[in-house]
Chains A and B, each alone.
Chain A
């Protein structure tokens, strides 16, 4: 049995991006929620970046079942196999790499214009994604 990882990590140098986005975009959100959103953005853009210097961001025990589910479906999609479900470390790694790419995308997007316009653009993009034929 492989050793179960006890935390998820982010790129150490990019903690400041999370800090920066705390008040503007992620007001009231936990680091875990921020991470999951960054993961989703990275996944949407099909971008992953491996971590060079790992720094823990939240503990695995803080994951709710729905949160775990999100990590699992991303891992299944990424590997193309459900066997990844037995490898929590791999599931975490995949999530971390998507989140690493995602947080940078969010940061760059936000800082290219007014914070209000980020949500407006996001809203339009998401609605567009839900149109028939786009999923």
Chain B
């Protein structure tokens, strides 16, 4: 599947806004790509919950 191109400005913006919080940055980046891959209607809730759990686990592991 072709990787969808995301506006660099958005990725840079997230990077700047997150600062040192790499977990948040990766989390939002992954969400962005999910959204770009699935324009229109799609079963997003489960996907989002899964991604949230994933990054919360990473956050816990880092502590």
Q: CB–CB under 8 A between A and B in the complex?
A: no
